[in-house]
Structure 1
Amino acid sequence: MRFPFLRTSLAVSLSLTSSTLLANGLALNEQSASGAGTAYAGRASSALDASTIYGNPAGLSKIEGKQVSGGFAVVKANVDISRVRTEAPGSSKGDMVPLANVPFAFFAMPIDEKWNFGLGMYVPFGVISDYEKSFQGSSHGLYSKVAVLSVQPTLSYKVTDRVAIGFGPTINKIDGKLTNSLLTRSLNPTGQDTRINIKGDDTGFGYNFGLMVDLSEQTTWGITYHSKVDYTLKGHTKVHNAPLPINGKYKAKLDFTTPESIDTSITHTLNNQWTLHGGLTWTRWSRLESIDAKNKGVAENLQDRFGVLHEDLKWHNTWSYSIGASYQINPQWVLRSGFALDQSPTTNEHRTVRIPVGHRKILTFGAGWKASDNLTVDLAYAYIRENSTGVNQQDSALVPAYSAKYRNSAHGFTSQATWNF
């Protein structure tokens, strides 16, 4: 008898996706409230504050003096599940994404007339989902929490008065926890289902590179490359209440890569009040073709099934498109708005209860307030609406088939304070 969760759980532990935040797949966009107001349309071509360290490291050359900027995003998701088809008992209530909080912080300072230094801390990837204990699809996913925290020291260099480049290595810490169950209550004397928990972590290294060019006094173009990051997740798998002799704790290792992306945008100042932005982002999600996990301590007679475990993901590359505008009311106040279209990397054939995301539309509004010569406060709101998607999980031993229609939406609120020394 096979226990399919042992084959898949480590494989998906890092390939989980949030259905609530401003970017699709694994990626998060919540690194700036000033950028969120325009749906991040001008992220690679404008340097509104020190958060440009992530958006485009070359933008550091436009930051005057020393600056500290930080904030957080709060996202409230709504998930409706309907048209459920399964033989598993229980419920499918939806709304399995708890209130999410995504922090960020940045520091920038000049070194001389050509060089600038910066330091950023942000969350580029993450997920959290928590289905009810009676969830009918719990054999395919019950609880999931994965987060990547990145630290990025950065240097920018002003090549000419119009051209700047920037580079920053990234140190990335990943932590994850998963819980699944198997329908074994009829096989267990206790009448309980098998519960499987997985924890793991690792540190990986990457880099961001950016170029920013002032094409004219009114127009700036920028491009940013975020590198892939390789991880070897090390941790353990715990199996409880299994009817076969596989209960216990197993060492586990999984090689995984978060994909590279290219972000380009253009910013054009129409006059003293209006500024327009347009952006385009490509992400190489096709790196998530498949994942192989290795478990240690598995009994000899189960090595052929659980020694080296393979899972197909078959994600595909995606594009996202964004436009935005800002309106300077007076020297103290600026209003922003933006719209984005974001493709999903999943397909109908391979979509799971862990990643029930579809193509999404994002509408944003924001405002910036210059409270004093030193302090600026930015706020942004985003409404996220996804296309309806279908989940079709196949059955196997102790894992009932589960299919349903998911409809996801979310409200996001981002706040940021920037202090100039």
Structure 2
Amino acid sequence: MTRHTLQRFTRSGTQASLALAVAVALTAPLSAQAGSFQLPTDNAAGWARANAGGSLFANDPTAVYNNPAAMAFFNGPVLQVTGTGIRPSAKFEGEFRDQAGNPTTGNNPNGFGKFIPFPNMAFAAPVSDNVTLGGSLTVPFGLVSEYNPTWQGRYFGTKTSLQSIAVSFSAGFKINDEFSLGVGILGQRTKAQLNSMIDAAGAANALAGAPLFVPQSSDVQLNVDVKKKFAFGYFAGFEWKPSERDSIGFSYHSRVKQTLTGDYRLYGSQAGIGLLGLAPLFGGPKLNPDGGSASAKLDTPAFASVDWLHVFDDRFSLAATAKWTHWSSFQNLQLMSDGQQIVNLPQKYKDSWLYSIGGDYKVTDQWTLRAGVGYDKTPSNIVSRDPRIPDGTRRLLGLGVGYQASKNFAFDLGYQHQFVGKTRVKLTNQPLLGASTMDGTFDDHGDVVSLTGTYQF
């Protein structure tokens, strides 16, 4: 093989690998773990019940977003503010190898391990005997994972940050003492930051089909920042009270269609980055060495919930929930840059279900104890699961306490532990990404702490 041919493989391999890396960076959050970045829009009491019962409990302002039909039975204006912190943990056990089969250098840190805070605020007020209006600020989707750029799995992702903030307005209509309807609209703002390292030497070897270069010798860092200012969706629901002690609710939230746009940046040696400008000469996309535009379609899925609440007496209530999320709508993800299609990747997601049961026990007029258990099945699979979000099916255990400080003011504290256990991960990077491999398991779990203040006017 001539020197000119070797240079051509080096240039085209490096440039094409970086181009495809942009696509992987943008699509990785969706191809890893649907369940964990879909966040329950709950208050502290809801987390303590393992998210059972939805918003059917009396005067629960989360109904503004979760099921506006429940607002119709409120007996006065209610304001609620919740602060929640989620701390997932994921420790890898196994091996990473480069294109030549050698162990990848670096350490193996926990890419999570920090509490990530997010808010949930809602206000609802009856405007007549039959109509209640409300507004809310929620975070229905979010995640953060961050590894050291020198860790062993750096070629499969270093940092992922995704957050969707939704502002909603809704109305509940009381048809009679047994039945109500609710509808709402929402505007959702989403932003994402995704960083990766690319083994350009390994990519060149894989493209050439020969061991021409030393893998792990020419890492290039790729950073992608994209966002969508506002995308819109709708939701609706009903509540039925078949008896004085029972409530049954159903709610549906539409898919929110959105295309995130922004840019990518490349960091490395001037010689390596300079090769990117030659990509079109070798059949690759046009990439700007100083960075360029990037966009990806990232629709958040539709979901629906069936909730039940039974009030045994003035002290004890028990609730249950079954929630479905339409993750199978994620079949393919397409990356565009400067009007060009870089790649179209299959996802192969499956719809997911969450089941939970939990309740309240009122010890005194001031103190209430709460608990719940749940089962949350992940739609992710071994084909797409990676270190960015190495999710598995979760088993939920919630505990909490509520305190009625006065006639108008109350606060709640909730804790939830999520048992995940060992989740299998087995991937081979595409040749254009360096053809490195990972084989092992992630030992996962998560903790949630939530504090809520509620004021009834």
Output the CA distance in 1 between the equivalents of 2:130 and 2:170: 14
Partner of 2:381 in structure 1? 347
Give the match's secondary structure for 1:286: helix
Identity over aligned pairs, percent? 24
1:108 aligned residue (121, 124, 139): 124
Output the CA distance in 2 between the equivalents of 1:192 and 1:322: 49
2:355 is the alignment partner of 1:321: yes
2:417 is the alignment partner of 1:375: no
Output the CA distance in 2 between the equivalents of 1:74 and 1:138: 26
- The verdict on how the C-alpha distance between 1:352 and 1:320 changes in structure 2, with shifts beyond 3 A counting, is same
2:437 is the alignment partner of 1:411: no
Output the CA distance in 2 between the equivalents of 1:191 and 1:54: 51
2:456 is the alignment partner of 1:420: yes
1:294 aligned residue (331, 336, 340): 336
Deviation at 1:182, TM superposition (A): 0.9
Output the CA distance in 1 between the equivalents of 2:87 and 2:24: 28
2:212 is the alignment partner of 1:201: no
Output the CA distance in 2 between the equivalents of 1:341 and 1:226: 21
Partner of 2:311 in structure 1? 269
Name the TM-score, length of structure 2 as normaliser.
0.85
Output the CA distance in 1 between the equivalents of 2:342 and 2:394: 36
Give the match's secondary structure for 1:419: strand
Partner of 2:399 in structure 1? 365
Partner of 1:179 in structure 2? 195
- The verdict on how the C-alpha distance between 1:37 and 1:25 changes in structure 2, with shifts beyond 3 A counting, is closer
Partner of 2:44 in structure 1? 33
Q: Deviations over 1:374-410 (max 9, x none)?
A: 1010110111110311111203242411222101112
Output the CA distance in 1 between the equivalents of 2:91 and 2:276: 38
Name the TM-score, length of structure 1 as normaliser.
0.92
Determine if contact 2:425/2:442 at 8 Å carries over to the other structure: yes
2:112 aligned residue (88, 96, 105): 96
Give the match's secondary structure for 2:364: coil
Deviation at 1:90, TM superposition (A): 1.1
Q: Which protein is bigger by CA-based radius of gyration?
A: 2
2:421 aligned residue (363, 376, 387): 387
- The verdict on how the C-alpha distance between 1:167 and 1:15 changes in structure 2, with shifts beyond 3 A counting, is farther
User: Residue type matched to 1:404 in 2?
Assistant: G
Give the match's secondary structure for 1:358: coil
Deviation at 1:256, TM superposition (A): 2.2
Deviation at 1:218, TM superposition (A): 0.7
Deviation at 1:97, TM superposition (A): 4.4
Determine if contact 2:419/2:446 at 8 Å carries over to the other structure: yes
Deviation at 1:15, TM superposition (A): 5.5
Deviation at 1:95, TM superposition (A): 4.3
User: Residue type matched to 1:239 in 2?
Assistant: L
Output the CA distance in 2 between the equivalents of 1:328 and 1:172: 37
User: Residue type matched to 1:155 in 2?
Assistant: A
Output the CA distance in 2 between the equivalents of 1:411 and 1:217: 36
Determine if contact 2:124/2:133 at 8 Å carries over to the other structure: yes
Output the CA distance in 1 between the equivalents of 2:291 and 2:320: 51
Determine if contact 1:84/1:403 at 8 Å carries over to the other structure: yes
Partner of 1:300 in structure 2? none
Give the match's secondary structure for 1:257: coil
Determine if contact 2:69/2:182 at 8 Å carries over to the other structure: yes
- The verdict on how the C-alpha distance between 1:285 and 1:47 changes in structure 2, with shifts beyond 3 A counting, is farther
Determine if contact 1:50/1:63 at 8 Å carries over to the other structure: no
Partner of 1:214 in structure 2? 241
Deviation at 1:56, TM superposition (A): 1.3
User: Residue type matched to 2:319 in 1?
Assistant: H
Give the match's secondary structure for 1:153: strand
Output the CA distance in 2 between the equivalents of 1:14 and 1:318: 14
2:68 aligned residue (57, 82, 87): 57
2:276 aligned residue (241, 245, 269): 245
User: Residue type matched to 2:128 in 1?
Assistant: D
Partner of 1:144 in structure 2? 160
- The verdict on how the C-alpha distance between 1:181 and 1:95 changes in structure 2, with shifts beyond 3 A counting, is closer
Give the match's secondary structure for 2:25: helix
Output the CA distance in 2 between the equivalents of 1:43 and 1:361: 18
Unaligned runs of at least 5 residues, structure 1: 19-23, 298-302
Pick the structure with more helix per residue: 2
Output the CA distance in 2 between the equivalents of 1:25 and 1:315: 14
Q: Deviations over 1:174-202 (max 9, x none)?
A: 011111011247979x9652010101111
Give the match's secondary structure for 1:388: strand
2:133 is the alignment partner of 1:117: yes
Output the CA distance in 1 between the equivalents of 2:327 and 2:310: 31
Deviation at 1:48, TM superposition (A): 4.1
Q: Deviations over 1:1-59 (max 9, x none)?
A: 131313322223566648xxxxx243101431121121111005334421121221111
Larger deviation, residues 175-184 vs 114-123? 175-184
Larger deviation, residues 221-230 vs 237-246? 237-246
- The verdict on how the C-alpha distance between 1:223 and 1:44 changes in structure 2, with shifts beyond 3 A counting, is farther
Flag as ranges the 4+ runs of structure 1 deviating above 4 A: 13-18, 185-188
Larger deviation, residues 162-171 vs 80-89? 80-89
User: Residue type matched to 2:86 in 1?
Assistant: V
Partner of 1:21 in structure 2? none
Output the CA distance in 2 between the equivalents of 1:7 and 1:412: 32
User: Residue type matched to 1:64 in 2?
Assistant: N
Larger deviation, residues 152-161 vs 395-404? 395-404
Residues paired across the two proteins, number: 407
Partner of 1:163 in structure 2? 179
